[in-house]
Amino acid sequence: MTRIKLIPAALRDLKQSSIEQFFDDIPTILAGMQADHKRAGPNALDTKSLQGRYKTLSRTKIPGHSARIIWKRDAYDKTVIGIDARDDHTYSQDYDQRQYCPCYVWHGETGNDWRAWVYDAGYKYSPVLTPEQEQVGHDLLAQHNTEFSARLIQSPPGTGKSITATGWASKYYRQGWQVSLIVPSLLMEEIERYLQQQDEGLHGLQPMTFATWLGQLYPDLKDCLASPDQEREAFYAAAKQSHHLKTLGAISYRDILLYQAYILDHDTKNLRKSAQFHSNQQRLQLLRKIKPDHWRRQLGNQLSRFDVAQRLAHQPPPIAKNTLIIIDEAQDYLLAELKAVIALCQSWQTHHPYRVHLWLLGDLNQRIQPVDFEWGQLELDKSIQPFRSNYRNSGHILQFANPFLSITKHGDPGKRTITAAVAQPEDALEVGDPVRLLVCESQADIMGFFQRLVQCSPLQENSQHRYLRVELAQQVKVLRSHLNDLLYPTTRALEFLDVSQAKGREFEGCIALPTFTSTDIPTSEQAYQWYTLLTRTRARLLVLATRLEVDEMTRLVPDALVHCDQIPLEDAAAVDQTIQWIIEAVGGTDAVERATEIRHRLLTSLTTDPLHLYADTYALLQAAKIDHNDWEQAALQRLQDRFDILSNPMILHHAQGEELEVSLRCLLFRAMYRSWDAVATAQSLQQTDAAEYQRLGHQIAEDLDHQGLIYEALRVRKQFDLDILEDVPFPELLDQSGDLLILLGEALQTRLADVIDHLTL
């Protein structure tokens, strides 16, 4: 069957306001393209070839419909490169600038699934590997030797390391290898969903965190691995017990990593060359006041990351087949951890007749943890930098961000030189828009700019969209470094994230607050944070800085202003245009990362007058992994506290209509104590979503139990084929519909007549 593929530029088109009214119709056109419907018949599509410079492209639409899809035939597939409403803009697009890699396969999603595919980045889980990514995988798979094979795969951001590595892992798994795919917790959801899109032969392949992997290797340690919070709390207790708490001040997990990397690890070599060691010497002098034995005593039977690594290196468990271990984001591990994994693999290769491969994927330029090594300290003689193409950032963003890494050449006493390749502007997917720099006089001016942006946002406090997904996607993202300690409250229009929260997420456009402080020698850690902050964005980047910060920035990076457009704050027209420019860069929902906010927003919408009912309520609960039953109890409490609002005829109209999700319509009926209407509404799910159908039946019955209507609850359970008590009075009524009092009266009359007949015999 013909595959329908979409490129990133086409996905951006789908989020534009001009497409919103046609958004739900696009899958119909895509399905017609897939089935190759011509101009005849009820499912007809109007397709024609474009002329002139775009004669290799085609345009497809529904007759009489304004939405146009521009696509190109790619062997047996069709690649969508543009989507727009019919106007002069459609055919004035420069489609030559739109690259056809990467692209994503549409699997027939419609309705809320289609909205999730676009806005919640569902497309990321069905990528088509690029020729470059396929070639790298082929080269690595071809290296089947009997020796221990370790590969250090250093790659710039945005090159698709994680998804490509998952593809490699899948191929090895199909060949019968034992595969351990170790990824950060932030990437677990993405990798799991990618694997779900693949064939059934991958059911046993699951991504895992480093801690989960250790628990599998050593089952007896599964409950003994200290979490970051447990490590920090134990360190706090040790500092308090040794009377050094006041000296140390606030203790962060960053301190715990420094302690394990440079104090517990006595084998760390070449400390005088370590950038992290020199830039943190003052803090390390304070941390040394805490004796390791005191910390371990406070940990009790829990083991720190460093201590677990020692166990891994010296007590390797056996293996029973060829083994591949892939560790993603390796740059954020302790040197002791990575050396332990290398020693483990070497031991396996020595003592077992199986091939062992280890691949470490990472980018030192994106390091955000103060760990203690450079790639050379791993002593691997087979390091490769296979990727060049950058599929995330525009050329202009890379041109602006890359010079900040040059700070590390002279910014640390260790005089570290850059050994990790950076993505070059010429290797970017698109040229994009120039970075913009808004120069403010003070932090107060920056706050004033945010207030101005909120006033221009389509997400005014009194405005509501039919889909919460769209509202979340339209929220402008503001990224700040750890050095920025000002408090910026997240609003409906703005979401504030520090660099660690932004790591692992990507944004179509964002505002950056890098915070350039007046220090003579910035650390490499600061440079890495600035670089990570600036390269989270695909297309549009707005940097906010005070004039003093701009002076500091140009001192560090003399050419910084050459690679951006400066916007003076006093130029009101330019500022307003910049606000619209950044607002138009609609991003994604990131539902899992924003579960708490989504839960709150959905509950708050039920307290407005009139009620604002989001058409994707349950789809978002599912995407954010929010427990439906728990949320419904809170929602019912809010709705029933405002029963006057429920008496509005429009609420009954919504409950009886077809526009809202079935589960939300059931919730409205339950709030109005119309349980049997909820039962009737739920019936439509019996064939299409059996699990949700059963869940709704159970919840409706629970409502009736809490109201003391026990027999009605039994009737509902019987209706949904749920378990019920065997000894039930009048069991014949459980299968009957209608008013219970009337049914009971009729049953009593029948039984009384039977008794009278029996007595007269």
Q: Tell whether 145 and 77 lie within a shared domain.
A: no
Q: Identify which of 226, 305, 318, 301 has the alpha carbon closest to the alpha carbon of residue 264.
A: 305
- Residue 389 included in any domain: no
Percent of the chain whose pLDDT exceeds 90: 36
Asked which of 302, 329, 345 is the last residue of a domain, the reply is: 302
pLDDT level of residue 78 (50, 70, 90 thresholds): very high
- Residue 593 included in any domain: no
Say which range, 25-29, 584-588, 725-729, has the weakest mean pLDDT. Answer: 725-729
Q: Tell whether 103 and 182 lie within a shared domain.
A: no
Look up the CATH number of the domain holding residue 534. Answer: 3.40.50
Asked which of 334, 356, 384 is the last residue of a domain, the reply is: 384
- Residue 650 included in any domain: yes
Q: Tell whether 123 and 135 lie within a shared domain.
A: no
Residues 6+ apart with CB under 8 A from 541: 397, 400, 435, 436, 509, 510, 512, 534
- Residue 168 included in any domain: yes
Asked which of 110, 128, 146 is the last residue of a domain, the reply is: 128
Rg for the chain, CA atoms, rounded: 30
Q: Tell whether 259 and 368 lie within a shared domain.
A: no
**Average pLDDT over the chain, rounded to an integer:** 84
Residue with tokens 């004039």: 547
Q: Tell whether 8 and 121 lie within a shared domain.
A: yes
Q: Tell whether 215 and 232 lie within a shared domain.
A: no
Q: Tell whether 83 and 173 lie within a shared domain.
A: no
Q: What is the 3-state secondary structure (H, E, C) of 339-397?
A: HHHHHHHHHHHHHCCCCEEEEEEECHHHCCCCCCCCHHHHCCCCEECCCCCECCCCHHH
> Structural domain of residue 177, as residue ranges?
131-198+207-220+316-384
Look up the CATH number of the domain holding residue 49. Answer: 3.30.2310.20
Model-level pTM greater than 0.85?
no
Q: Tell whether 154 and 63 lie within a shared domain.
A: no
pLDDT at 1: 80
- Residue 477 included in any domain: yes
CA angle, 378 then 366 then 217, to 5°: 50
pLDDT at 679: 93
- Above 60 in pLDDT, residue 488? yes
pLDDT level of residue 463 (50, 70, 90 thresholds): low
- Residue 511 included in any domain: yes
Look up the CATH number of the domain holding residue 155. Answer: 3.40.50.300
Structure-token pair, residue 363 = 């980018």
Q: Tell whether 456 and 499 lie within a shared domain.
A: yes
Q: Tell whether 477 and 432 lie within a shared domain.
A: yes
- Residue 177 included in any domain: yes
Q: Tell whether 177 and 249 lie within a shared domain.
A: no
Q: Tell whether 50 and 191 lie within a shared domain.
A: no
- Above 60 in pLDDT, residue 28? yes
**How far apart are the C-alpha atoms of 401 and 399, rounded to whole Å?**
6
- Residue 594 included in any domain: no
Q: What is the DSSP letter of 562?
A: G
Number of folded domains that form the chain = 5
- Above 80 in pLDDT, residue 322? yes
- Over residues 393-423, the pLDDT tens digits come to 899 999 999 988 877 554 444 444 445 667 8
- Over residues 82-111, the pLDDT tens digits come to 998 765 455 567 777 676 778 999 999 999
